[in-house]
Structure 1
Amino acid sequence: MSHGKLRENKTCLNCGHQVEERFCPHCGQENIESRHPFYYLFTHFIEDFTHYDGQFWGTLKNLMFKPGVLTNTYLEGKRQKFVPPVKLYIFVSFITFFVFALFPLINLNFDGTKEQHGPDKASVFEKMKSLKTHKILDSIKAKPILTQEDSITIKSLNALPDSTKIDDLEEALEMGNKIDENVQYGGYKTKKSYDSAAAKNPSIFDFIQIPIAHKFFELKERGVTKGEIAKNLTATSFHNLPKALFIYLPLFAFFLWIFHSKKKWWYFDHGIFTLHYFSFLLLNILFVFLIGKLTSLTHIGVINSILYIILCVLLIYSIAYFFIAHRRVYHTHGVVSFFIGGLLFAINFFTFMILVVGLALVSFLMIH
């Protein structure tokens, strides 16, 4: 519930009806003062999701631990008990990608430059080298008696790649080098020669091949390094990911619509199922991301082992969740539900991979 101050005037500012208590009986607007401190913008947003009746927390609980319940409840017409599907998806998307932006899992410094300003600015390769610290190994081996935790820690550190191998990888990738002048695209070294050949031999794929070729030659002429391309491509892909997921929502619902009775299930019903499932996936991805961050911050073997087990459980649960939710919502027989669910899962995985490739191409074209 909002904590805004009630107005002394009992006339609703929205519709003009008399308001005896807090909310207008005609339009439902809260009869509180219309001017507030700046922080009210943020507190009001949070209150919309975490207000006193526990709607938000009940929604999260059912979303995470009771697959299909939210969809069934909504389709039964009980729509005040939980957060509406669209509102839930938008909120979860905002929180997930906001956290991703604040705490990137890896530093995107691929350029191989030597100018570093602290551990957070180190390149990916430098961070890989720093993971295997001899100080940790020496301190453990110096103990008279090794515990089980010490043994696990030693094994995990020894499993990491050697610094020499990392150096070879960094050198092989040549992330700090520019695109060599002799490097060709489609057998051509310059944009002019490529355009000339494309004009003589047009193709139905020219609508995508020509822009990619032009971008390649543009980056080559500008002397952009491989590391800069990788960094910009990763950053651009990340920013485009929410758009890709939003675009894929109706496609996911469409595949559900194809495999189920058109008389019993409307496309709208599949859309509700999709919104709830995607909200769950985003939350699950967020938890995996945060646990991944924790594993990079601790070097205690037992804790890391527990975190890795949790990661595996979450990944398996994210797959099993779909089958459980599908059976509960569509009320199909176990074998039939598993077969249809497996087919849908495979089709969606293949289609989403195509979308990811398309996203990568778009991200490449957006590099500047």
Structure 2
Amino acid sequence: MSHGKIREDKTCLNCGHQVEERFCPHCGQENIESRHPFYFLFTHFIEDFTHYDGQFWGTLKNLLFKPGNLTNIYLEGKRQKFVPPVKLYIFVSFITFFMFALFPFDISFGDRDDPKDTDKAGFFENMTSSEVKKVIDSIKTKPHLTAEDSLSIKTLSAFADSTQKGIKHSLKMDNKIDADINVNGYNNRKSYDSAAAKNPSSLDFIQIPLTHKFFELKEKGVTKAEILRNLTEKSFHNLPKALFIYLPLFAFFLWIFHSKKKWWYFDHGIFTLHYFSFLLLNVLFVFLLGKLISFSNIGSVNILLYLVMSALLIYSIAYFFIAHRRVYHAHGLVSIIIGMALFTVNFFAFTLLVAGLAMVSFLMIH
């Protein structure tokens, strides 16, 4: 694979050895021109991650369709054929969260008082009235509308409007935090701090910062919708950090449930990197399918996309059990029991991590 024009000078720029062909036999550096046009930065980046003389596409194929195969091959010592686990995870993380940033979540609540939302329906409005709107549009496509068609359009439109207003009113997302809402009977920070000083608790390190933030937002008059938007945004930005923190914990649980003599923590780390890379790709596919559904107005197509999303979610769970059995070579029943135990432990541990992430995100709201 070529990344640039070969230099006429056969002296390696890196170590000074003679280079007979493209690569230096001493240090391995490619003997190409050191100066390139600006676009080379992007083409070089893409080539590095999509070619690897077939490494990338072979890695992707095995990762998606052959659970546990990449881990087995790597632990056998065959480490030049596929992309290294750490590099794979970093690249997949970058692509996944780049796509999230490119197509951000729509957390609008149809607040028509906000000029930014005047031309688009809110998130909950789309969820409650999209099907009704499709029926109305299908009626309007008729070349000649009868009196019954006109009546149907009026009735369905009134139903959609009442549904939107009812849900919006019930959620009260455009309202500020009610003045009578309190924390353990205290309506302001001063009274709460006074009580906390008299009756300290072992959980004060969590409760006090969260309560202070609550009273701060209450005094500023922040609406519920603004809080939820900010909480979602902050949580999204903190998610990559949370996943990175959880990697060694996931590997630690694997280490606990398997033989310490046969399996080293390093081996569990490789399995974890491959599995999390698969999960990130799966999340990306589900996210993109969800975006396609939001843009599509064809019912049959949306049903098909929902089925594909459901299949991907089921496959992500089955993938772990298949990969676990193939890598750790446990018997069927033993593998299932250990897999279920690991799945349960990780579910609760990750739930705690998500709760912690939500609290940190809440404290970051301004």
Match of 1:136 in 2: 137
How many residue pairs were aligned?
A: 352
State the shift of 1:122 in Å: 3.6
CA contact 2:177–2:223 (8 Å) conserved in 1: yes
Instruction: State the 1:111 CA deviation.
Output: 7.3
Partner Cα distance (2:344, 2:67) in 1: 20
Q: 2:8 matched to which residue of 1?
A: 8
Which residue is 1:308 aligned to?
Answer: 306
Instruction: Provide the rounded CA distance (Å) in 1 between the counterparts of 2:235 and 2:206.
Output: 18
TM-fit CA distance, 1:197: 0.6
C-alpha deviation, 1:115, in angstroms: 3.6
Report % sequence identity: 72
Change (3 A) 1:125 1:320: closer
Select which of 345, 348, 356 maps to 2:346: 348
CA contact (8 A) 1:107 1:120 kept: no
Q: Which residue of 2 aligns with 1:358?
A: 356
1:51 paired to 2:55: no
SS at match of 2:10: coil
SS in 1 for 2:53: coil
Aligned partner (choices 286, 297, 300) of residue 299 of structure 1:
297
Listed as ranges, the matches of 1:172-251 within 5 Å are 172-251=170-249
Cα contact 2:110–2:117 (8 A) shared by 1:
no
Partner of 2:68: 68
**Given that residues 62 and 69 in structure 1 are in contact (C-alpha distance below 8 angstroms), is that contact kept between their aligned partners in structure 2?**
yes
Deviation (angstroms), 1:184:
0.7
Provide the C-alpha distance between the structure 2 equivalents of 1:222 and 1:113, rounded to a whole number of angstroms: 21
Question: Using the alignment, how far apart are the partners of 2:141 and 2:50 within structure 1?
Answer: 47
> Is 170-179 or 77-86 further displaced after alignment?
170-179
The one of 298, 308, 317 aligned to 1:319: 317
Task: Note if contact 1:7-1:32 (Cα within 8 Å) is conserved in structure 2.
Answer: yes
Query: Contact conserved, 2:59 with 2:70, CA < 8 A, in 1?
Result: yes
Match of 2:92 in 1: 92
Distance 1:142 1:312 in 2: 38
* Counterparts in 2 of 1:269 and 1:67: CA distance versus 1, 3 Å: same
Are the equivalent residues in 2 in contact too, given 1:291–1:307 (CA < 8 A)?
A: yes
Query: Which string of whole-angstrom CA distances, capped at 9 and with x for unpartnered residues, describes residues 161-182 of structure 1?
Result: 9542332221122111111222
Contact map agreement 1:110 1:230 (CA 8 A) in 2: no
1:299 shift after superposition: 2.4
One-letter amino acid of the structure 1 residue matched with residue 6 of structure 2: L
Contact 1:116 1:122 in 2 (8 A): no
Q: Tell me which residue corresponds to 1:146.
A: none
Between stretches 211-220 and 179-188, larger displacement belongs to 179-188
Q: Report the CA distance shift for 1:189/1:325 in structure 2 as closer, same or farther (over 3 A).
A: same
Residue 110 of structure 2 contacts residue 121 of structure 2 at CA under 8 Å; is this kept in 1? no
Residue equivalent to 2:108: 109
Assess if the C-alpha contact under 8 Å between 1:128 and 1:166 holds in 2.
no
Secondary structure at the counterpart of residue 24 of structure 1 = coil
Computed over aligned residues only, the root mean square deviation of the Cα atoms, in angstroms, reads 2.1
Partners of 2:163 and 2:248 in 1: how far apart?
45
**Contact 1:111–1:226 at 8 Å: present in 2 too?**
no
Give 1:112 deviation, angstroms: 2.2
176-185 or 54-63: bigger deviation? 176-185
Q: Deviations over 1:228-265 (max 9, x none)?
A: 11110010001111111111000000000000011110
**Distance 1:118-1:351 versus aligned 2 partners, 3 A rule:** closer
TM-score (norm 1): 0.90
Supply the distance in 2 between the matched residues of 1:312 and 1:273 (Cα, whole angstroms). Answer: 25
Matching residue of 2:281: 283
**How does the TM-score come out when normalised to structure 2?**
0.91
Name structure 2 gaps, 5 residues minimum. Answer: 145-155
Distance in 2 of aligned mates of 1:202 and 1:260 = 42
Deviation at 1:139, TM superposition (A): 4.9
**Compared CA separation, residues 170 and 52, structure 1 to 2 (3 A):** same
How many Å separate the matches in 2 of 1:75 and 1:26? 28
Q: Residues of 2 paired with 1:363 and 1:337: CA distance?
A: 37
The 2-side partners of 1:332 and 1:212 are apart by 46
Q: Tell whether the 8 Å contact from 1:111 to 1:176 is kept in structure 2 after alignment.
A: no
